[in-house]
Structure 1
């Protein structure tokens, strides 16, 4: 080993000081300026006047070092040589080095500020923990001026939405992405980005979670090989929020969290004792898919009532001002809305009473569930003179529409993601309906079966045929399509690197399948699942055959943040048994007296059901078939093949 040299030691000491930051760098430069002035003054001192002290000579050197304007005042060769050397060194050390240090310090400070490391000092704001494929749709929902978040903040006496997002990386590209997004644009000035993850306690403090009106934790898609899943991050964030609330003796904030695996819901409730609503994405999406397989056409219904598109959505409204009235009387006072039922308090829980009898009386504390285009249309106390006819809806519970049906529903699933076992489990709940499922995926057949068996024992009730292969190969896909399928489902895989890649495969696969099925007299239902909201515009005309899960989940999260009871409404509507949305044939009703939607409501009510709209056999110019909550006085002009959208009550329960 070579011995340390003096130059090496000095360089090491200098380097250790320079890396400590701008303050130490300026101190080092000041020392150099002092040394150069001292040496320059000492060298020029012999040529100075006889009575000039050394201190004045050092000051003379310092002036030449810092200001080149003194260079022409000196006389004598030696004095001019020293003065010139000092002036040149002044350009390098004094001006160049100082400007470089100050410039780098300013750039570094601006970069640090742009990274969003400064804790926010606001209250009653909305916090989103994490930047995922759900975040952009969620921001659009929150910034919607007619949305429920606006009303939540008004209740907190906050004048405008202030949105704080915790992202793993904050940069100008991400801010530009927000500004370029339709529906956000100019509202981007109300969005504050902070860097960090939900795994970091200091990051949760950085976004002031304890002072927030609501904290939202969207899920993130992950591959099967991820060791730290989004659910783990969510549980860790809940534990940190609970611990921080305990240490600071503050009430924990209201949290709306998404979990990818419904089996972790109980763990999340143990981790957080504050107000908490949980969206189990695998359960919600699998329920929507199962309903879509059993009742083709429902994806367009989901796309309207569970996304930010123009159209109708469910509202949970206070019943103040209408206690003691019957549901029929409330419905008669709301000509632009459909009264779907009640939410009734039961201790600390809520009881859902959808499709309730029209004679049901609104009690104290009850909330009304309505379908309407605007929040104002769902106002149960409206000062209007035009009253609708009173509906007569008795309490009728129909047997399961699948009861006694011996024919199997044959389903072909192309692709694989982590939600497929939940879908199979959900299909098993629709007993006694029988399903025959074939899975075609690049995932190994053994791993497919293991994932099914690990999820639940109930998946064994569904007959599944597993096949390994790439559905993009027409030579492999064509023989599979020759079977008589009722539904073909193409799903967005979570085994690829990004949602864009997964959706590209799913959409191209959809086109390949549609082309191979061309010419068939009876084509199966094609159902496409996408995971990237930016692909929405590509499937606008086929929205009735597409489920964009991030948009649906984001809409639900934003709505449940405003009305916690809405989660129970969604669970009731999209699970087997109880209240369900069905598309029914006109032959099921006495249609001879039906001219407009008001007539249809009256006919459906007599059979114990709630009419919601019409599903047309032929799409309009925009590719839409669904007409929810149409004007009651406009003729329906029903044609052959048109179906009725009905809210009914099914007696069957989960098997």
Structure 2
């Protein structure tokens, strides 16, 4: 049986309950106490000041008004004798009530401002891009979204993370500077907590991006997706999430009835790094398609081409390079057969500077004779074995070499030079890559030792891979930049046995890109940037995912750069439209070309992506045609 509290405790508990109900209850209590005290004072004053013919209740009401006016409204107090007796009580009450209310209001206002500084207030915006979580990719994602928002009206990005809001603001300002086109709002909270997530207004957002700094587990991302589903199962808002597990990502994409695009960061980095080794200049092409600067991938309704073929569409747009079709049912076909007939409701998949540049310019029947030649690239009966040098190592290195393996000629060799203190080289023992001879050398401590390790061999490819275990991203990139400088120094010294070779380097942090340009690598793969670019693209248009999946998968259509002499004779002027027709005769979709003289100075400068069909140039030895087509060995 519960015991009854004594009176002081009962009063204290009663006050606690009233205060717990909120500020209005507390203010009402103070007001009520003031009224009671004023009533007692007024009753006593009215009684002692009552004249013989006066009505007591009327006198009481008048005294009560005078006291309340003095206590709560700051009016003048009573001026009779008894007023001077009781006025100290009333004055003390006035000061006490005012002080209590002022202190309480100040405290509540302070709490409210603290909550605002912590980012605890709800989001009232709609059509905002909502970023849940935090990782080092967030800066690249926001930069890309800001570029995409150039022509939008009052765009907003909301960052909702369990990181301290002040720290978020500091990091964003330090790494982004002034964002030109987009308002960025931060809120502190747990994205996996349903009650806290409601403050982010996920149902009212345009798209949702989920980032996760953990490379060991996808648990946070999965919990966040389920939390979104719990508060918004309408499936109207697309989700783009960064994950590593194929099993869990496929399960989420298939089980939830909403648009979920999973970006597998490590897989994407592996595939782009491997593709970059196949041709000089391929990296800037891939980056151009992924970012919002320059040319992007769009869908254009192909009304004028109904009844015509995909081959006809390739030369029918002056300022757009066609790479595929999306049929009326939404199914994507990248580089389909040239005789594929375009039906009603079909769209062309085009590379263009903007979607309003996809303008039908007319058919080119004069090129049909070239298109219909149905040629094939010459098969190589014998290819010289390739020699690959890799400086630095991690699990990513194992993945990249595995991705390259199908394209390497028989009897190729791989030499790995790495620091075993910060790299697990156990996977290099035995026969890790069937058909590829592997040798491992411990990383030297001097330039001379490195020169001795690599001299005497003509390498076809030199890759500098970032260390990913045992060092920070900053330290790993510092090692990469130093290695680039050392290799370029060795390349520049004559008669040291180290021949100049194309150099591909991986950076973990894209902020170091300016330093890498000074160090001078032929092609740069920026790991944190690649996934961020794709995440930003899919948040703006989730329909692009199957296109990128196809382009980055060696089993599908891929982007290649082939020697231009395979298509046309050297030294004769030709239009890009004619080059497109020649590429079509090989079953490929041409999207640009690379000029070798420009590329020798700057990998980016030599690439011409989506030039006008009417532009003319004279091919020379070393130039390449950039095409979308089947992967070839």
**Shorter-chain TM-score range:** 0.7 to 0.9
1:352 matches 2:334: yes
1:337 positional shift: 1.9
Describe the shift of the 1:467–1:118 C-alpha distance in structure 2 as closer, same or farther (beyond 3 A): farther
Describe the shift of the 1:245–1:174 C-alpha distance in structure 2 as closer, same or farther (beyond 3 A): closer
Counterparts of 1:16 and 1:465, CA distance in 2: 76
1:334 positional shift: 0.8
Partner of 1:491: 466
1:222 matches 2:214: yes
1:323 matches 2:306: yes
Counterparts of 1:636 and 1:269, CA distance in 2: 46
Counterparts of 1:480 and 1:648, CA distance in 2: 39
Describe the shift of the 1:573–1:68 C-alpha distance in structure 2 as closer, same or farther (beyond 3 A): closer
Counterparts of 2:37 and 2:122, CA distance in 1: 40
Partner of 1:102: 105
TM-score, normalization by structure 2:
0.75
Contact 1:398–1:649 (CA under 8 A) maintained in structure 2? no
Counterparts of 2:489 and 2:33, CA distance in 1: 78
Contact 1:68–1:87 (CA under 8 A) maintained in structure 2? no
**RMSD of aligned C-alpha atoms?**
5.0
Counterparts of 2:246 and 2:363, CA distance in 1: 48
Pairing partner for 2:286 from 273, 297, 302: 302
1:187 matches 2:190: no
Pairing partner for 1:572 from 532, 542, 550: 550
Contact 1:315–1:375 (CA under 8 A) maintained in structure 2? yes
1:397 positional shift: 5.1
Partner of 1:523: 500
Contact 1:146–1:375 (CA under 8 A) maintained in structure 2? no
Describe the shift of the 1:432–1:514 C-alpha distance in structure 2 as closer, same or farther (beyond 3 A): closer
5+ residue gaps, structure 2, are: none
Contact 1:299–1:544 (CA under 8 A) maintained in structure 2? no
Q: Secondary structure at the match of 2:342?
A: coil
Q: Aligned residue pairs: how many?
A: 609
Q: Equivalences for 1:57-136 in 2 at 5 Å?
A: 70=76, 83=87, 87=91, 90-91=94-95, 93-112=96-115, 115-118=119-122, 120=124, 122=126, 126-136=129-139
1:636 matches 2:610: no
Deviations 1:326-381 (A, max 9, x none): 33432333111222333457x88544335x43x543244543232222222223x3
Describe the shift of the 1:269–1:623 C-alpha distance in structure 2 as closer, same or farther (beyond 3 A): closer
1:594 matches 2:573: yes
Deviations 1:219-272 (A, max 9, x none): 434355xxxx3x2223233444555667xxx55754333322445433333542
Pairing partner for 2:162 from 162, 168, 175: 168
Describe the shift of the 1:583–1:234 C-alpha distance in structure 2 as closer, same or farther (beyond 3 A): same
1:286 positional shift: 0.6
5+ residue gaps, structure 1, are: 151-158
Describe the shift of the 1:31–1:264 C-alpha distance in structure 2 as closer, same or farther (beyond 3 A): same
Which of the two has higher C-alpha Rg? 2
1:523 positional shift: 2.8
Q: Equivalences for 1:174-213 in 2 at 5 Å?
A: 177=172, 181=176, 184-188=179-183, 195-210=188-203
Partner of 2:269: 285
Contact 1:427–1:435 (CA under 8 A) maintained in structure 2? no
Partner of 1:22: 23
1:308 positional shift: 1.9
Deviations 1:441-482 (A, max 9, x none): 56655x5547x99xxx9767766666777x998698666565
Contact 2:393–2:465 (CA under 8 A) maintained in structure 1? yes
Partner of 1:373: 353
Describe the shift of the 1:561–1:623 C-alpha distance in structure 2 as closer, same or farther (beyond 3 A): closer
Q: Secondary structure at the match of 1:234?
A: helix
Deviations 1:268-320 (A, max 9, x none): 335424343332222211110001123232111122121122x2233333333
Counterparts of 2:399 and 2:12, CA distance in 1: 63
TM-score, normalization by structure 1:
0.73
Contact 2:507–2:527 (CA under 8 A) maintained in structure 1? yes
